[in-house]
Structure 1
Amino acid sequence: MSRVLVTGASRGIGRAVALAFATNGDRVAVHYASDIEAAQRTRELLPGEGHALIGANLAEPDAAQRVMAAAVEALGGVDILINNAAVATSPRTEHSIARVDYAHWRQIWRQMLEVNLLGAVDLTYLFSRHLIDRGAGGRVINIGSRGAFRGEPDFPAYAASKAALHAFGQSMAQALAPHAIAVTSVAPGFIGTERQESKLAGTEGNRVRAQSPFGRVGTPEEVAAAVLYLASPEAEWASGSILDLNGASHLRT
């Protein structure tokens, strides 16, 4: 049994990842930023006992310390960290340079970098020191994005934050390997979460599905299955890798 901290686990990919670990017999700390009702629903869905809820906005300066301390206390330690929390792409966070003013541009860039990158950076530091001080190995898995490679013209801060997260993960893979800590990232394409239901049901749905030659979008469960593998003992040699999960909608060279 492993003890797992999943950030941004109130819904979508985070919820699916938390459910996959709990179904595997692991104990899970479900982190959420503000939607406690959705987080409680995630907790209710998890089989097994000993799971925990932890609320904090990772953009706040001391949030990472509070989250890690609460997870360690609730679970008796943490063995696996899933950096999933992010300010997502949405009409509210769109910041095409031709359509927003400078104040909005600056606000979105700082909001996305604080949560998507620096929140994960801080948690990775605290988690790694927790493992090193215990003399234990572990896993860090970052949830990145296809957008880090193909670009996001309407959401450049999102793409940049995810590209930086991938690069950070590769640096940490080299830095932490001597401590038996493996670090990987996954880069999903379009995933059919609850947040995307209206988009997929509308006129844009067919265009989104046509991005992949499979003619569909990915599921949170497919991302969760990949994360579960990367967290396994058998996946240590994958450390430093970035796993594309986009249904061949974008091919890197």
Structure 2
Amino acid sequence: MVERRGVLVTGASRGIGRAVAVAFAGAGERVAVHSTRAHEDAEATLAALPGEGHALVTGDLGDPVAAQRIAADAVAALGRVDVLVNNAAVAPTAANRHDPAEVGYPDWVAAWRQMIEVNLLGAANVSWAVARHLIDRGAPGNIVNIGSRGAFRGEPAHPAYGASKAALHALGQSLAVALALHGIAVTSVAPGFVATERQQAKLGGEKGDALRRESPFGRVGTPEEVAHTVLHLAAPESAWASGTIVDLNGASYLWS
């Protein structure tokens, strides 16, 4: 009988993170749902997971001490962590818009600090902790990063977000080389616009049709489509994909 793997999904309260957690649980794995703090959405994700043996872990990934503890808590709750999905991120919003022509220096600095601390450094720190857990166990494993199409085409109103995701892709490629000797595969996915809960107002508003026209399919992506690819990349049989970045955007950046 194959032992069920332990999977840590950061930022799993809603959206892509929730879909990823549900997909792994549906495949028979045990999942640690991470959220910055315990709240209704996080509890709803945990309750939605099929099967048993799942857990909720909390902490601010922007804090290096908390990032290491989050990994340790997941190991303690699940008994082991074999797969890490770095999904947690400070996403672009109207409140953190920082076009350099529009914001003052303090807001510019604050936006960069917050996004880099969580989107890049938080992912790097929890990756280190999970990688060392796997190395110490002498076990193979997988790390999958949730990047962004914005890493390639730019985010003019949120440049720190685009830069953090480009750096996350580069981190994944560096770790793919560094960790291959230990049987740990590292990959990334780069979604375009995805119809998460947070984006429903935008999709239903005046910009909705324009967003759907970005892809020749005439629609935007779904969290479940991203989760499907993450599940594939995290399979032991997909180790040879290590180092790759998978575009998930319905050919949107090829279409004019």
Shared fold (TM-score greater than 0.5)? Answer: yes
Cα distance change of structure 1 residues 216 and 35 upon mapping to structure 2, 3 Å threshold: farther
State the 1:34 CA deviation: 3.3
SS in 2 for 1:175: helix
1:88 to 2:99 alignment: no
Query: What do you get for the CA RMSD once the two structures are aligned?
Result: 1.0
Alignment of 1:1-253 (within 5 A): 1-34=4-37, 36-251=39-254
Q: Counterparts of 1:220 and 1:34 in 2: how far apart (Å)?
A: 22
Distance in 2 separating the partners of 1:207 and 1:33: 33
Q: Distance in 1 between matches of 2:218 and 2:64?
A: 42
**Aligned length in residues:** 252
Per-residue deviation, 1:35: 5.7
Alpha-carbon distance in 1 for matches of 2:130, 2:58: 17
Contact 2:141 2:236 in 1 (8 A): no
Once the two structures are superposed, residues 3-33 of structure 1 have per-residue CA deviations (whole angstroms, 9 ceiling, x without a partner) of 1000000000000000000000000000001
- Following the alignment from structure 1 to structure 2, what is the Cα–Cα distance between the partners of residues 60 and 134? 26
In structure 1, runs of 5+ residues without a counterpart are: none
Deviation at 1:108, TM superposition (A): 0.6
Percent of aligned pairs with the same amino acid: 65
2:147/2:189 contact within 8 Å kept = yes
Find the residue that maps to 2:176 and give its secondary structure: helix
Q: Which residue identity does 1:128 align to in structure 2? A: A
Mapped to 1, the partners of 2:66 and 2:236 lie a distance apart of: 30
- Distance, in Å, in 2 between the alignment partners of 1:191 and 1:35 is 25
Q: Is the Cα contact below 8 Å between 2:64 and 2:125 reproduced in 1?
A: no
* Structure 2: stretches of 5+ with no match in the other structure: none
